[in-house]
Every structure is written in structure tokens, then in C-alpha cells.
Amino acid sequence: MPPIRKRATAIAQAHWKDLGLWMPIFLGVPVLGFGLGYWLDSLWPVVVSWVAVSPIPVFGLIRHYRRFAKMPCEDCGRILERGVPADGAPIVFHCPDCNIEWDTGFIQGGGD
């Protein structure tokens, strides 16, 4: 019997929640630094603002990799590991206990 395909809502919600939390900080702090630097006629606020937000993309990439490497089954709670999908293939997790294939709604990119 082929597996039932369901939409994995928790992983997508966590992904978009992280974007909504970190993107305003990543974009807003340098804008404030530029404004403060212009107001004070100094380059230091610009440099400090960029140094302050520079770890955010690195943190985001590590978190993104870890989020899409393993996922709990939304029905039984079993930790599922994903296989190695081809480029352009959807990112899915298969639970053998429930016979459900969880579709994250994201596609494996080629890195281009």
C-alpha cells in the first residue's frame, strides 16, 4: 500500500516564524546604525551594527540545516530522518509506523 501524503504544518510554521522574528532584526539594526552614523557623523555605529547582526545568517543556516535533517512525526512523535532527495524534489519525511509521507512544502535546491 503506498504511503499517505500529508502536509507537515509544524515545520513550515516554525520556518516562517523564524523568518518573521529574525529578518526585521537583521535588516533593521543596520538601518538604525546608518541613521545613527549619519546623525553622529561617524562610521562606528555602522560598523558596530553590522558586526552585531553578522552572526544571524550563520545561525539561520545552521538552524535551517538542522530543522530539515530530522522531524518528529506529527501523528506518533517518532523522529524521522530524511533521505537524500534529488535537486528539485520535494523535501519529504516518511514514517513507517503510520505509513505517512510528510510533505514539508519545500523543495530541495541545487545551490545555484
- Cα 50 to chain centroid distance, Å, stands at 21
Q: For position 111, what pLDDT does the model report?
A: 54
Tens of pLDDT along 59-71? Answer: 878 887 777 788 8
> Is the pLDDT score of 99 beyond 80?
yes
Dig out the grid coordinates for 8 from the structure: 507537515
Q: Where does the chain show beta strands of DSSP type E?
A: 4-7, 70-72, 79-81, 90-95, 100-107
- 46 pLDDT above the threshold of 80: yes
110 pLDDT above the threshold of 70? no
Q: Structure pTM?
A: 0.63
Residue among 21, 29, 25 nearest 48 (CA) = 29
Please spell the DSSP secondary structure of 11-23, one letter per residue: HHHHHHHHHHHHH
Cα(10)–Cα(46) distance, rounded to whole angstroms? 37
Distance of alpha carbon 81 from alpha carbon 57, whole angstroms: 24
Average pLDDT over residues 3-31: 80
